[in-house]
Amino acid sequence: MEDKISNKNSSKGPSRVDGRLKVTGAAKYSAEYALPGMAYGVLVGSTITKGTITSIDTKKAETAPGVLAVISHFNCPKVPGYDSADPAVKGPLKIFHDNKIVYNGQPIAVVVADSFERALFAAALVKAEYNAEKHHTNLKDNLTKAVAPHDDAVYSRGMPEAWKTAAVTVEQEYILPSEVHHPMELHAIIARWDAADKISVWDKTQGVKDTQSNIAKLFGIPVDNVQVHSKFVGGAFGSALQVWPHEVAAIIGAKVVKRPVKLVLSRADMATSVGYRPHTWQKIAIGASADGKLVGVVHEAAGQTSTFEDFAEGPSDVSRQLYACPNVSTSNKMVSLDIGSPTWMRGPGPATGTFALESAMDELSYKLNIDPIELRLRNYAETDPESGKPFSGKNLKDAYRLGADNIGWSDRSQTPGSVTKDGWLVGYGISGGVFGADREPVTLTATMMADGKLVLQTAVSDIGPGTATAMVAVAAETMDMPADKIRFDLGDSAFPAAPQQGGSTITSSVGSAVYMACRDLKEKFQQLIGNGGTDKPDYAKVLKQHNLQRLQVTADSKAGKEVDTYAMYSWSVHFVKVLVNPATGVVKLDKVTCVADNGRIISPKTARSQIIGGAIMGIGMALMEEAVIDDRYGRVINSNFADYHVPVNADIPQIEALFVNKPDYNINPIGAKGMGEISLIGMAAAVANAVYNATGKRVRDLPITPDKLI
Amino acid sequence: MKQFQYIRPATQQNVLDAITKSGTKIIAGGTNLVDLMKRGVTAPDKLVDINHLPLKGITPTKSGLHIGALALNSVVSENALVLQKHPLLSLALKAGASPQLRNMATVGGNMMQRTRCTYFYDTTMPCNKREPGTGCGAMEGYNRMHAIFGASQQCIAVHPSDMCVGLAALDAVVIIAGKKGERRIPFVDFHRLPEDHPETDNHLAKDELIVGVEIPDNNFAKNSYYLKVRDRQSYAFALVSVAAALDISGGLIKQARLAMGGVAHKPWRLYDAEKSLVGKAPTEENFKVAAQIAMQGAKAYEYNAFKLKLAPASISEALKHAAGVV
């Protein structure tokens, strides 16, 4: 048998296997289940930012119609995982654990009632008294307190000061505001205690196995006694990679009222309860020779975290490896503030980092008077500048060429503000994106059923990209059978182990497992058939001939020695054409072209959708997204969709998604790498660079709103 | 949300009887009121539904166009008479909210919508408009969206409507029914400035009902424009908006109407700027002069100083579009 999938790419590929379910509303999300006897939980949030709770008046709430329980730290049953944790070690918020308030909006109580409306009404009746203390929520004012979370967060090769000696230098600061994930589906959980030591949850999560083990640990019960169901997830972008306090609150509530409890966060809760991309300050110092060769780069980053949890992305890491440069120093620091904890959000690290590095590269290109693409080609890294290893697969030059042709890069003027169309300024911008390509361990079963249908099972989630669709495509190709005879089961902890859906690893990881399982299953069939079998056996017939109900194989897939041999990344290049109104500063995108260099494209339709989705999220990052805290109160003041802007259809131009589509068999047997992150990473810089090309105005603090351009 | 009563009186007279009691609120499209109730900003005891009253008509009168208070924003924006006589109103309506909301929102309800000031909406924050005497959260806070004209020490909120800016520019009249019959007031006098009572948005008495608006016939249809500058291309409140209407004859401006949104507690008419344009040629230079005149008395706060530049730029831009000199 071949040790890699054949490279016959279908231009069209399969349609979403769950597309019909989703557009007809038949796909059932966590909040949509109705269990017998179900009650409803609503959280009460702190209205101060730091201090202690002195009292909570729950009498009015407790006597309100339909209320079953009001739970706070005064009466919360013990959570074994909280009590066994070392109090000196930082970690996720322990809900209802003590009287301490560590951020504004922190849940201080949960009201459980027999209807959602009654719980909501009663929650408004809970009144807490506090001892407020002085709080700090402003990143800029506290930058001097930035610390590195661990040794790897600081990196240096060559001479840190080398950039200063270069013929041409750029030294600038870049600011990214905090962004909220705001997936369309609100976070929701239904928790049911099946026995004193058995729990079932229907939960929005990016990893059913991780949720299972975390709940088991928190409540001190065996892992197998926790069942996690998460069949459909309506977007998450990183917000559902961990067990958050509201999930614990629902499980506690269910225990107290002895009924299943549903808890759905409000849109406002989403801004404070399930993480966010940290507001980050960055500084880039970059130097190049007159002919555009990089001499040195210094990239510093400092982002927000909470006081109770250490979290730092790696924004500056992109500067270690995006370009060939002998002298590079980077650091990723964090500033502890009286705010909720940030978390991973699509493209964590490089999404923030490329805004700084790729903006600075653009600034450098104008100072050097070299075309921005040409500048990038002059510093093209043929091998990984950080490790010296060869890349498993890199075809970025193809990506530059494809994108430049598609957007009409030759129409770009090197002189900013020099091109107008119908009174609007016209500009073009480019930025690269990069994200590590991994292959995680996966166990997966492939079962040929008596009726000739193939069932694949593993405990991965699908938060929206179309995982099952891509996996069915891999199986159809490997088994040489029609896709409509294949079912891919996911989103349940009862299935064999799979990683969380995060970090653009699933197609590579699960896809490889699907390929291995199907390859082994096919081999088993060939053994049954013996010599003289055809390439395309009738599987049902073979099972019948051998009097078998089914034939099953289990694949254990994981990375091998190749991880020591190669540096593995997915790449992207974003091209943007903007129109800017010189009078009002309004930016309109005219065209966007995204090119991904991420190995073989398994499922062209869903790949295209994923690139478009990431690009739109990047456009939001560039032009409008910004969570605002009023530092006087320490409170997020735009926790709703009227004030926190995400792009609407009118903001989005034609987006072309192009793929280099060259298999990378050095990483895995299917030659495919992820694209969830690279679809977004770089987009903000591409827009900012296009705006500069149009106007001559360099915006270094996102988002680029009209007021910054007049 | 607090439990409340819901009634649907049969006639306009029954509605007028019902709303005299305190704690009652009229509900039409509900696109703002229901939000406010969910957020706990307002908690009426009783909602009086008026959607069935015969106030939806759009009909020509002797000297103008009557638009019923319950005419939907979407219907008005596509109405043939509106498009023919007052295209500015159609543009303003389409610049507001989203198609879904415009399908629910009514003319009267649009006039009655409250400010979108974040401190007004968040019941943990001080707000003199929501809770008189608690202070103004925006004054020293995040006031990017706030007023540059007509604010007081009590309140710097802005009125969020686009439709109202258009109606203010078009010299509309508001027709109000009360116990003693109907009264008519100029649209520009319907909303009020915050002064010492920011909790009161307008001059509609508790026991009165808006029944319609009337727009007098004019010569602006050929040369009018509504410009809205916002943080995204749709479904966002105005940073600044401008309704511009010109009556141009023989190469000169005979009459001009200008109103702004996103800058004051009410639709902000620019009378002096209008006057400066009369008798002048519709040129960019003259528009810029008018825009500068319009800015007299403007005052910015920490985060909205950009409006001092954006507002005049937008006035001039809107006038260019209205005059067709872009």
Widest CA span of chain B, in angstroms? 62
What residue in A sits closest to B119 (Cα-Cα)?
A637
Question: Taking an 8 Å Cβ-Cβ cutoff, which residues of chain A contact chain B?
Answer: 47, 117, 120-121, 124, 423, 581, 583-586, 588, 623-624, 628, 630, 632-633, 635, 637-638, 640, 642-643, 645, 647-651, 703, 705-707, 710
Percent of chain B with pLDDT over 90: 99
Write out pLDDT tens, residues A484-529: 999 999 999 999 999 999 999 999 999 999 999 999 999 999 999 9
As a whole number of angstroms, the distance between CA B192 and CA B194 comes to 6
What residue in A sits closest to B313 (Cα-Cα)?
A583
Task: Spell out where A581-627 has E strands.
Answer: 587-597
Question: Residue ranges of the domains in chain B?
Answer: 5-51, 224-323
Is the pLDDT at A341 greater than 50? The verdict is yes
As a whole number of angstroms, the distance between CA B194 and CA B187 comes to 17
Please state the rounded mean pLDDT for residues B221-232: 98
What residue in A sits closest to B303 (Cα-Cα)?
A707
Name every chain A residue with its beta carbon within 8 A of the beta carbon of B231: 623-624, 645, 703, 705-706
Count the residues in chain A: 710
Of B1, B118, B317, the CB nearest to A643: B118
Mean pLDDT over all residues of chain A?
96
* Residue A532 confidence (pLDDT): 63
Task: Spell out where A73-204 has E strands.
Answer: 100-101, 107-113, 127-132, 154-157, 168-176, 188-195, 198-203
ipTM: 0.97
Please state the rounded mean pLDDT for residues A102-114: 98
Of B231, B233, B316, the CB nearest to A650: B233
As a whole number of angstroms, the distance between CA A175 and CA A278 comes to 11
φ, ψ dihedrals at B283, nearest 5° = -115, 160
Name every chain A residue with its beta carbon within 8 A of the beta carbon of B306: 706-707, 710
Is the pLDDT at A587 greater than 80? The verdict is yes
Given an 8 Å threshold on Cβ–Cβ distance, is A637 in contact with B313? no
What residue in A sits closest to B234 (Cα-Cα)?
A650
* Residue B2 confidence (pLDDT): 81
Task: Answer whether B5-51 and B224-323 agree in fold.
Answer: no
Write out pLDDT tens, residues B54-95: 999 999 999 999 999 999 999 999 999 999 999 999 999 999
Name every chain B residue with its beta carbon within 8 A of the beta carbon of A623: 231-232
Please state the rounded mean pLDDT for residues B187-216: 98
Is the pLDDT at A536 greater than 90? The verdict is no
Is the pLDDT at A1 greater than 60? The verdict is no
* Residue A468 confidence (pLDDT): 97
- Of A1-10, A133-142, A241-250, the one with minimum mean pLDDT is A1-10
Query: Where residue B6 falls among pLDDT bands split at 50, 70, 90?
Result: very high
Query: Where residue A186 falls among pLDDT bands split at 50, 70, 90?
Result: very high
* Angstroms from B14 CA to nearest CA on chain A: 31
Name every chain A residue with its beta carbon within 8 A of the beta carbon of B116: 642-643
* Residue B1 confidence (pLDDT): 73
* Residue A87 confidence (pLDDT): 85
Write out pLDDT tens, residues A381-435: 999 999 999 999 999 999 999 999 999 999 999 999 999 999 999 999 999 999 9
Percent of chain A with pLDDT over 90: 96
Of B1, B119, B230, the CB nearest to A121: B1
* Residue A518 confidence (pLDDT): 98
Report the half-sphere exposure of A398 (CA within 13 A, side-chain side).
13
CA distances from A218 to A1, A84, A211, A274 (A): 45, 9, 10, 18
Write out pLDDT tens, residues B105-163: 999 999 999 999 999 999 999 999 999 999 999 999 999 999 999 999 999 999 999 99
As a whole number of angstroms, the distance between CA A456 and CA A125 comes to 50
* Residue A2 confidence (pLDDT): 55
Residue A688 near residue A589 (C-beta atoms within 8 A): no
Given an 8 Å threshold on Cβ–Cβ distance, is B229 in contact with A706? yes
DSSP at B13 = H
Q: Among the CATH numbers 3.30.390.10, 3.40.50.300, 3.30.1050.10, 3.30.390.50, which is that of B224-323?
A: 3.30.390.50
For this structure, is A677 an active site residue?
yes
Name every chain A residue with its beta carbon within 8 A of the beta carbon of B137: 630
Q: Which amino acid is at B271?
A: Y
Is the pLDDT at A281 greater than 60? The verdict is yes
Name every chain A residue with its beta carbon within 8 A of the beta carbon of B122: 635, 637
Name the nearest CA neighbour of A566 among A658, A437, A445. A437
* Angstroms from A226 CA to nearest CA on chain B: 35
What residue in B sits closest to A625 (Cα-Cα)?
B231
Q: Among the CATH numbers 3.40.50.970, 3.20.20.480, 3.30.43.10, 3.40.5.50, which is that of B5-51?
A: 3.30.43.10
∠ CA B282-B288-B290, nearest 5°, is 80
R_g over Cα of chain B: 19
* Angstroms from A630 CA to nearest CA on chain B: 7
As a whole number of angstroms, the distance between CA A635 and CA A639 comes to 10
* Residue A345 confidence (pLDDT): 98
Write out pLDDT tens, residues A363-390: 999 999 999 999 999 999 999 999 999 9
Write out pLDDT tens, residues A630-689: 999 999 999 999 999 999 999 999 999 999 999 999 999 999 999 999 999 999 999 999
Name the nearest CA neighbour of A108 among A80, A84, A130, A140. A130
Q: Which amino acid is at A216?
A: A
- CB contacts under 8 A, B 232-261 vs A, are 232-237, 239
Q: What domains does chain A contain, in order, with CATH numbers?
A: 19-28+439-558 (3.30.365.10), 33-133+186-235+240-273 (3.90.1170.50), 155-160+277-438+565-709 (3.30.365.10)
The answer, for B95 touching chain A at a CB cutoff of 8 Å, is no
* Angstroms from A76 CA to nearest CA on chain B: 26
* Residue A669 confidence (pLDDT): 97
Given an 8 Å threshold on Cβ–Cβ distance, is A710 in contact with B306? yes
Name the nearest CA neighbour of A560 among A439, A390, A435. A439
As a whole number of angstroms, the distance between CA A33 and CA A31 comes to 6
